[in-house]
Amino acid sequence: MEIIAVAREMQRRSDLKRMKGKRIAFVPTMGYLHEGHLNLMREGRSISDDLVVSIFVNPTQFGPNEDLAKYPRDFERDRRLCESVGVDVIFTPSPEEMYPLLFQTYVSVEGVTKNLCGLSRPGHFRGVATVCAKLFNIVKPHAAVFGKKDFQQFVTIRRMAEDLNLDVEIVGMTTTREPDGLAMSSRNTYLKTEERKSALSLYRSLLLAQDLYDKGERRAAVIIDRVAAFIESHPATAIDYVKICDAAAMEDIEFIDGDGVIALAVKVGATRLIDNHVFGETLPAYGS
């Protein structure tokens, strides 16, 4: 397994692979890998001849009061995990490599970023779109694999790729969950023991929402009220948002008559967690 830190070197390698007719798959990460990341890599491995993973904590997607400085990092552990699933290359640039002196070009995706995390994290999706556009140009993948735990991010990158005619297939993968249903996240390590129990309210509230939907409820406000009350009944929870949106436009809807997604952002203690569910899709009932 190769480790590359310089963009030009990564580009040259990808050029050579493409010239040889190799198919490149790419999984962008911020490191501190978990089973969810590894599932994305396994998918990338299955659809490619060459699998590239980036490990880069992207400063442009963090706000001034967010957790950039304390975001968990353990490169040696990440390296071993990447090797275990057959990654061919880790691209691990420095912030200076990605954003050199006088850097001033950013990518803004408009409509689909205005709601949800776009409201509570101004500038976040500009940072996400910019770093992904740069990584696509550096790694030159045929396919890039993203988890749908951050559904808005997945929709944003898919929209960017389509709007800018990027020659890359955006592959979305179902959220990987812990045995009790909690969506896997690098930030789960922040949770204290009692907070971890309260964090399960996100997943269980999605089960509640799907159950209401299965019983015929289509009014978004009714489902949102029930979900919010359930989450708030758990200690140490503070809701950022509970919303039901059109799954393509990411705009609020009053009535679910097509592809609707319920999206959550909740602070549990000091840790901000997100989760979502597209109505009608399978949401497995995990044990508690």
Question: What is the mean pLDDT of the segment spanning 207-211?
Answer: 97
- Residues with a known catalytic role: 37
pLDDT, tens digit, for every residue of 133-179? 999 999 999 999 999 999 999 999 999 999 999 999 999 999 999 99
Find tokens 């359930």 and name the residue. 230
pTM, to two decimals: 0.95
Mean pLDDT of 115-131: 96
Whether the per-residue pLDDT at 106 is higher than 70: the answer is yes
Determine the CATH number of domain 186-278. 3.30.1300.10
Amino acid occupying residue 127: G
Cα–Cα distances in angstroms (integers) from residue 252 to residues 91, 146, 220, 241, in the given order: 37, 23, 9, 12
Other Cβ atoms less than 10 A from the Cβ of 206: the count is 22
3-class SS string, 194-218: HHHHHHHHHHHHHHHHHHHHHCCCC
Mean pLDDT calculated for residue range 228-232: 98
- pLDDT of 107 > 70? The answer is yes
pLDDT for 139 equals 98
Query: CB of 39 within 8 A of CB of 87?
Result: no
- Return the CATH class of domain 2-173: alpha beta
The four Cα atoms 79, 95, 162, 247 give a dihedral, to 10 degrees, of: 70
Q: What residues does each domain of the chain span?
A: 2-173, 186-278
Interval 12-50: pLDDT, tens: 999 999 999 999 999 999 999 999 999 999 999 999 999
| The pLDDT of residue 268 | 98
Q: How remote is the C-alpha of 119 from its chain's centroid?
A: 17
Task: With H, G, I as helix, E, B as strand and everything else as coil, classify residue 19.
Answer: helix
Count Cβ atoms below 10 Å from residue 148 Cβ, excluding itself: 20
